């Protein structure tokens, strides 16, 4: 897991390294404001298809190979950035570097399979948050790196030299994952396929894919995740430029202030996942849903306040920090729920939800921050209102065995085992292919919460399992 979260950290650094350097890059490549905005959008739009593909690959060939190869391939555009001379080349490189953010899916897939459901929210949030931390670190480190290289050449040369470092780190991370990584607690998927414990073919991948896309819960979180993680990506792209222009700061000062947003990830996203786990311990899945709704709605409200503080640097910094903290907590709370949507299609669901963050980020970047006719502070204010509006669909998510925000489980509803094994055909069940789903169902009964007697339910499932084993 160490190599996984660090690789994700590096992918964040490389994707957003251009943001604090944009004042220099704009002058070097003669970019307009619209072209700069398009490049920023490309950096977060590039990973959409990559995240969806990464999710499917994690389900079939395993996260080790998928993750390792991704890091090796995305080292190439990092190195290519050192020789770009035109807007088109810059746009393509930023788009391709953005593919590396698909590493998030591999990281979340790994932590979801390596940790028990009782703490999966915290585990996912910590690994994801420490990865997202790269978005803040790069705001601090990149201007310092550029300043160092300025001693040995011009500013137009210095910004290019900065991209050598992430390129090398991509290579090192990719090789370490391939050499040291393991797909699951049971071993690597290739070995499990040879032993007959797994199937890894096109038909299996398609069945996993269908199990994910036909589950409406996934699509709700595809939408809502865009307005926490997607907003975080946009903020990483625009904050340095906003503080630089709005308050007439130096480049290093603006980058330092902008870094506060990303640096919140050292604890904020982890706290969101931990709070989700604590809420589930008492109130079950309904507690997780309420936690996510409250955090994300609050972040939208503070975003509105941030946009109204454009005349005060101190107030802008304070509201930005609170807004970033709540947004990142919402990200952690989201992935406290995602692992429970589907066991069979865990990778597909993680990939689509993650891609939703990038898709909506690209849309938000274009709609709110690309057009020069709109003041940035007004765009931030409007964004806050949209965040609150698009968090409402969380109330529509209903698990038959656990209920929703406003309604409990229906009387005589299916239990956890039925929910997770219904994704398998009768033949697959006969072959024992649903064994992992049954195991997860037993662990997931804690999502009923202590108020609903999850311990008694767990004991009942043990009796049921014993009876089936005795009959067999």
CATH number at residue 84: 1.20.1250.20
Is 407 a member of any domain? no
At 66 the pLDDT is 92
Pairwise CA distance, residues 196 & 362, whole Å = 42
DSSP string, 135-184: HHHHHHHHHHHHHHHHTTS-HHHHHHHTTHHHHHHHHHHHHHHHHH--SB
Rounded (5°) CA angle 462-463-466: 85
pLDDT at 86: 92
Confirm whether 408 is domain-assigned. Answer: no
Residue with tokens 């406003």: 406
Q: How far apart are CA 7 and CA 102, in angstroms?
A: 11
Domain annotation covers residue 401: no
Same domain, 148 and 207: yes
Question: What is the chain's length?
Answer: 472
Shared domain check, 429 and 281:
no
Residue 268 maps to a domain? yes
The total of structural domains in the chain comes to: 2
Does 425 share its domain with 365? no
For residue 35, what are its two tokens?
């072209």
The pLDDT, as a whole number, for residue 435 is: 82
Contact 234, 365 (CB under 8 A): yes
**Strand, coil or helix: what is 372?**
coil
140 lies in the same domain as 271:
yes
Q: Distance between CA atoms of 72 and 66, rounded to whole angstroms? A: 10
Task: Say what the pLDDT of residue 469 is.
Answer: 40
Pair 153, 34 in one domain: yes
Nearest to 333 by CA among 389, 386, 397: 397
**25 neighbors 159 (Cβ within 8 angstroms):** yes
Q: What is the C-alpha separation between 48 and 40, in angstroms, rounded?
A: 14
Segment holding 257, helix H or strand E: helix 251-263
Taking the chain (472 residues) in runs of 10, the rounded mean pLDDT of each run is 80 88 88 83 80 86 90 95 92 92 88 83 82 80 86 82 92 91 80 70 81 94 93 82 85 82 84 94 95 97 93 92 94 93 91 89 83 77 95 96 92 90 88 83 88 51 46 40
106 lies in some domain? yes
Q: Is residue 180 exposed (0-12), middle (13-18) or buried (19+ Cβ within 10 Å)?
A: exposed
Return contacts of 181-188, CB within 8 angstroms, 24+ apart: 181/3, 181/4, 181/63, 181/64, 181/67, 181/68, 182/64, 183/62, 183/63, 183/64, 184/62, 184/113, 184/114, 185/113, 185/114, 188/62, 188/64
Whether residue 358 is found in the same domain as residue 420: no
- Same domain for 332 and 438: no
Angle between helices 313-334 and 285-307 (to 10 degrees): 160
The CA-atom distances, in angstroms, between 236 and each of 16, 262, 307, 365, 471 are 7, 7, 16, 11, 58
Interatomic CA distance for residues 369 and 229, integer angstroms: 17
- Asked if 372 and 34 count as a contact pair (C-beta separation under 8 A), the reply is yes
Residues 89 and 160 in one domain: yes
* pLDDT of amino acid 471: 43
Q: Is residue 421 part of a domain?
A: yes
C-beta separation of 330 from 296 below 8 A: yes
Nearest Cα neighbor of 107 from 134, 165, 68, 76 is 68
Contact 94, 46 (CB under 8 A): yes
Tell me if 296 sits within 8 A of 228, measured CB to CB.
Answer: yes
Q: Are residues 331 and 451 in the same domain?
A: no
Residue 86 maps to a domain: yes
Q: Are residues 13 and 44 in the same domain?
A: yes
User: Are residues 324 and 429 part of one domain?
Assistant: no
Residue 140 lies in a domain: yes
Q: Which domain holds residue 77?
A: 2-396
In angstroms, the first-to-last Cα distance of the chain is: 38
Query: What residues pair up with 403 in beta bridges, in sequence order?
Result: 399
Q: Are residues 330 and 464 both part of a single domain?
A: no
């Amino acid at each position: 897991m160490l190599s996984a979260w660090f690789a994700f950290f590096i992918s964040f650094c490389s994707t957003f390294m251009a943001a604090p350097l944009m004042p220099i890059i704009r002058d070097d490549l003669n970019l307009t404001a619209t072209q700069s905005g398009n490049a920023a959008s490309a950096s977060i739009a590039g990973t959409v298809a990559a995240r969806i593909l990464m999710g499917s690959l994690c389900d079939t060939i395993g996260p080790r190979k998928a993750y390792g190869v991704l890091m090796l391939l995305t080292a190439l555009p990092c190195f290519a950035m050192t020789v770009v001379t035109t807007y088109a080349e810059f746009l393509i490189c930023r788009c391709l570097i953005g593919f590396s953010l698909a590493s998030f899916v591999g990281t979340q897939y790994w932590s979801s399979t390596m940790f028990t459901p009782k703490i999966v929210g915290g585990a996912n949030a910590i690994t994801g948050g420490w990865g997202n931390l790269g978005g803040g670190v790069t705001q601090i480190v990149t201007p310092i790196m550029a300043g160092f290289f300025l001693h040995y050449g011009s500013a137009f040369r210095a910004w290019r030299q900065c991209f050598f470092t992430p390129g090398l780190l991509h290579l090192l991370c990719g090789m370490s994952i391939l050499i040291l990584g393991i797909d699951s607690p049971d071993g690597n998927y290739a070995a499990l396929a040879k032993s007959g414990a797994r199937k890894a073919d096109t038909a299996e991948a398609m069945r996993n894919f269908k199990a994910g896309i036909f589950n409406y819960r996934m699509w709700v979180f595809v939408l809502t995740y865009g307005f926490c993680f997607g907003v975080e990506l946009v903020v990483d792209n625009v904050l340095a430029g906003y503080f630089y222009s709005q308050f007439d700061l130096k480049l290093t000062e603006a980058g330092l202030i902008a870094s506060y947003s990303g640096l919140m990830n050292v604890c904020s996203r982890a706290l969101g996942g931990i709070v989700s786990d604590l809420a589930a311990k008492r109130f079950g899945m309904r507690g997780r849903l309420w936690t996510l709704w409250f955090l994300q709605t609050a972040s939208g409200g503070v975003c509105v306040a941030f946009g109204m503080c454009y005349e005060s640097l101190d107030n802008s910094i304070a509201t930005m920090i609170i807004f970033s903290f709540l947004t990142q907590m919402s990200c952690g709370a989201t992935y406290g729920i995602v692992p429970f949507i589907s066991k069979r299609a865990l990778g597909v669901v993680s990939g689509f939800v993650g891609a939703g963050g990038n898709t909506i980020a690209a849309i938000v970047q274009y709609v709110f921050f690309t057009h020069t006719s709109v003041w940035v502070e007004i765009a931030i204010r409007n964004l806050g209102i949209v965040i609150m509006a698009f968090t409402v669909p969380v109330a529509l998510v209903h698990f038959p065995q656990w209920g929703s925000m406003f309604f409990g489980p229906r009387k005589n509803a299916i239990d956890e085992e039925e929910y997770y094994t219904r994704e398998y055909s009768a033949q697959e069940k006969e072959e024992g292919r649903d064994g992992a789903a049954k195991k997860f169902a037993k662990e997931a009964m804690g999502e009923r919460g202590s108020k609903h007697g999850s311990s008694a339910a767990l004991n009942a499932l043990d009796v049921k399992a014993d009876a089936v084993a005795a009959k067999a």
